[in-house]
Structures are given as structure tokens and as C-alpha cells.
Amino acid sequence: MSPEQVQEEAISGQTDLFSLGVVMYEMLTGRHPFYAQRFSEVIHRVVNEDPAPMSAYRPDTSPVLERIVGRALEKAPANRYKRGLDLASDLAAIFGSLWVPARDISLSERFHELRRLGFFSEFSDEELWTIIRGSIRQEFSDDDPILTGGEIEGAFYIIVEGSAVVVHAKKKMALLNEGGCFGEIGKITEGARAAAIISNRHCSVLKINETMLEQLSSECQLRFYRLFMKSVLQRLASMTEFALKHLG
């Protein structure tokens, strides 16, 4: 039972996401997030208390997974995931990051990592910290698929280290280096992508969901979309040049 149900407020799909968060927490820790001996105490905790960190019961809990479940269990519906698709997307990203054990990189290191990229040169420190806290960093080894053809994906990706290649019909179409962007197909067409993105040796990417971007100011969102589309257009120009060179 969610806080809004206890307080007899309006319910929505986000109410179901809270219930899903409870189930996830219990499956991962073996404990109910709001356990108490009396029902009245359980209700009080649901409305007024945050559950203990999952890492208190499972020290090996991924910090990213902790954040995902924590967001599903936010008291206010407005602070939870807006759609189940966003939650599913973040969970899928967890499995991707497990292909290669992620290096233990601090928030400070992530800040400096993004600050040196030209893509983020126009963002303030405050905006950059918001992006860092709301995004997921994934690492891939050589030839690991980052995105596959036929996949429906609604997130934006920025390469923060290494490189990746765009592959279509088993042919390499373009090389993406640090600062390169992809993932726009899912936002533009809301359909499956045709090309795959494959890691070229070691590659680290920043995955940014639309729900995270909504936490930024309107001005910052417009700046992000402008820079992202600029990078995409540069990639398309590179692919066109590649095609003319090899097919002309």
C-alpha cells in the first residue's frame, strides 16, 4: 500500500510502481522495507519513514540498483518514475553494466570526466552535478553490444571514454569517439532502431533518461537537445561521407 493510498489521495500508475518497489526491495534483501510487528506501525512507516538502505542487508548491492529501487519507493508520486518503461530501461542498463565489472569511480572523478568533454562545456557545475546524479555510467569491453538492431530504446547516450562503431547489415558505418552521441532514434521514431552500436575495445557511456532531463531547467534542456542533435548531425555527415567513399 502506497502513501497516497493510506492517505486516501488520488492514485495512478505511479502507485503501482511503488508496490513494485516494495516487491523488488523484499526480493533483493529478504526483508519488507517497512516491516513492523503491528499493522498501524507499518502504515506509519510507509507514510513517514524511509526504508533502510538495501546495502545494510546486502553489502554487495549495486549502488545504481539501490538508487532505482529507492526512486520507486519515493513517498511523493512526483518523485517516482513517471512510467514503468523508464524503470524497465534503468533495470536493463544494470544488466548491461554487469558485462564488465565497473571501475570504482567517484562522483568527483565523474564530474571531471564530463567537464573535459566539449559536449558539456556550456553547462554550469550545478547542471552537471544534476546530470551525474540522475544518469547511469556503463562500461563495455571490445565487441560488446551497447545497443542492438531491432531494439526499442528511449534513452540518450554519450561516450565518455573510448569509442564505439555504428554497424548496419554487418557493415561498419561510422566510428564514434569521446563526446559522440547516439540513441536519438527511439525518441524521434518511437520505434526499433536499424543499426547497432558496438563497443570498440573499451568503451564507457553515460546513459541519460528523459525523466532525468526533466529535472533540469527549460533552458538547460534546450541546450542539451541542441548539442545532442548537433553531434548526431555530425555523425550522419560522417556516415554519408563514408557511404560515398565506399559506394561511389
Residue 94 is assigned to a structural domain of this protein? no
* C-alpha pair distances (Å), 231 with each of 32, 36, 60, 199: 45, 52, 37, 18
**Helix H or strand E segment including 127:** helix 125-134
Residue 92 is assigned to a structural domain of this protein? no
Q: Check residue 100 and give its pLDDT.
A: 45
Q: Are 122 and 165 in contact (CB under 8 A)?
A: no
Per-10-residue mean pLDDT, the chain, length 248: 90 93 87 87 93 83 89 94 90 64 71 92 90 83 82 79 88 86 69 79 85 80 88 76 62
Question: 120 and 61, same structural domain?
Answer: no
The model's pTM is 0.56
Question: 58 and 156, same structural domain?
Answer: no
Residue 65 is assigned to a structural domain of this protein? yes
Nearest to 89 by CA among 151, 139, 164: 151
Question: 136 and 77, same structural domain?
Answer: no
Residue 97 is assigned to a structural domain of this protein? no
Question: 123 and 58, same structural domain?
Answer: no
The boundaries of the domain holding residue 115 are 104-247
Q: Which residues of 72-84 are buried (b: 16+ CB within 10 A; e: fewer)?
A: bbbbebeebbbbe
Cell output for 100: 564488465
Q: Check residue 125 and give its pLDDT.
A: 93
Question: 142 and 71, same structural domain?
Answer: no
**What is the rounded CA–CA span in Å between residue 77 and residue 188?**
27
Q: Check residue 149 and give its pLDDT.
A: 73
Amino acid at 68: I
Question: 233 and 111, same structural domain?
Answer: yes
Question: 165 and 127, same structural domain?
Answer: yes
Total domains in the fold of the chain: 2
Residue 16 is assigned to a structural domain of this protein? yes
Domain CATH number, residue 20: 1.10.510.10
Domain end among 48, 81, 114: 81
Cell output for 137: 555510467
Q: Check residue 185 and give its pLDDT.
A: 66
Question: 230 and 199, same structural domain?
Answer: yes
Q: Check residue 101 and give its pLDDT.
A: 46
**Helix H or strand E segment including 203:** strand 196-208
Residue 174 is assigned to a structural domain of this protein? yes
Q: Which residue is associated with the grid cell 556550456?
A: 122
Question: 226 and 118, same structural domain?
Answer: yes
Question: Please, which residues have CB within 8 angstroms of residue 130's CB and are 6 or more apart in sequence?
Answer: 212, 215, 216
